[in-house]
Structure 1
Amino acid sequence: MLTRRLAPVKPAFVERVLMRCPGQCAVCRAWSRQQVCSECLQRYARPVPRCWTCAARLPPALAGRREAKCGSCLREAPPLDRSIAALDYSFPWDGLLQHYKFHQAIELRETLLDRLNQALNIAEAEAPDLLLPVPLSPRRLRERGYNQSFELARTLARRRKLICEPELLLRVRSTAQQAQLPLKERGQNVKQAFALEPGRIGELRGCHVVVLDDVMTSGATLFEIARVLRQAGALNVQAWVVARTPDTALD
Structure 2
Amino acid sequence: MNCQPHWIRPVDIWLFNNQTCLLCDEAIESALPICSACELELPWLGESCQRCALPLPLPMSGLICGHCLKQPPAFEQVHAAWAYDFPVDSLIVRFKHNSKWPYGRLLAELLGQCLLDRFNCGQERPDFLLPVPLSVQRLRQRGYNQAAMLCHWLSAQLSIPRCEHWLLRTRDTPAQQALGAKIRKRNLLQAFALAPGTQVKGLYLALVDDVLTTGATAESLARLLLNAGARRVDVYCLARTPKPEGAP
Per-residue deviation at 1:118? Answer: 2.6
Q: Is the 8 A contact 1:50 1:57 kept in 2?
A: yes
Identify the residue that residue 22 of structure 2 maps to in structure 1.
Answer: 26
Identify the residue that residue 174 of structure 1 maps to in structure 2.
Answer: 172
Give the 3-state SS of the residue equivalent to 2:41 in structure 1: helix
Q: Is the 8 A contact 2:43 2:84 kept in 1?
A: no
Q: Which range moved further: 178-187 or 162-171?
A: 178-187
Structure showing greater radius of gyration is 2
Per-residue deviation at 1:24? Answer: 4.3
Identify the residue that residue 235 of structure 1 maps to in structure 2.
Answer: 231
Equivalent residue runs for 1:66-215 within 5 Å: 68-124=63-119, 125-200=123-198, 203-215=199-211
Per-residue deviation at 1:22? Answer: 7.5
CA distance in 2, matches of 1:189, 1:47: 28
TM-score normalised by length of structure 2: 0.83
CA distance in 2, matches of 1:246, 1:37: 26
Count residues with an aligned counterpart. 224
Per-residue deviation at 1:37? Answer: 2.3
The residue type equivalent to 2:233 in the other structure is V
Q: Is the 8 A contact 1:218 1:248 kept in 2?
A: no
Q: Is the 8 A contact 1:183 1:248 kept in 2?
A: no
Give the 3-state SS of the residue equivalent to 2:237 in structure 1: strand
Gaps of 5+ in 1: 1-20
The residue type equivalent to 2:180 in the other structure is P
Q: Which range moved further: 120-129 or 167-176?
A: 120-129
Identify the residue that residue 213 of structure 2 maps to in structure 1.
Answer: 217
CA distance in 2, matches of 1:71, 1:178: 23
CA distance in 1, matches of 2:180, 2:154: 32
Distance 1:205 1:157, change over 3 A: same
Identical counterparts, % of pairs: 37
The residue type equivalent to 1:76 in the other structure is Q
Per-residue deviation at 1:246? Answer: 1.6
Distance 1:42 1:152, change over 3 A: same
Give the 3-state SS of the residue equivalent to 1:139 in structure 2: helix
CA distance in 2, matches of 1:206, 1:76: 24
Distance 1:56 1:47, change over 3 A: closer
Per-residue deviation at 1:60? Answer: 2.6
In the TM superposition, what whole-angstrom CA distance separates every residue of 1:57-116 from its partner, at most 9, and x where no partner exists?
A: 1223455x4xx3112111211111111101111100000000000101111232111221
CA distance in 1, matches of 2:137, 2:177: 17
Gaps of 5+ in 2: 1-16
Per-residue deviation at 1:191? Answer: 1.3
Per-residue deviation at 1:161? Answer: 1.2
The residue type equivalent to 1:204 in the other structure is V
CA distance in 2, matches of 1:75, 1:181: 22
Give the 3-state SS of the residue equivalent to 1:179 in structure 2: coil
CA distance in 1, matches of 2:209, 2:137: 18
Q: Is the 8 A contact 1:47 1:119 kept in 2?
A: no
CA distance in 1, matches of 2:93, 2:168: 24
CA distance in 1, matches of 2:46, 2:90: 20
Give the 3-state SS of the residue equivalent to 1:177 in structure 2: coil
In the TM superposition, what whole-angstrom CA distance separates every residue of 1:17-37 from its partner, at most 9, and x where no partner exists?
A: xxxx97543333444455432
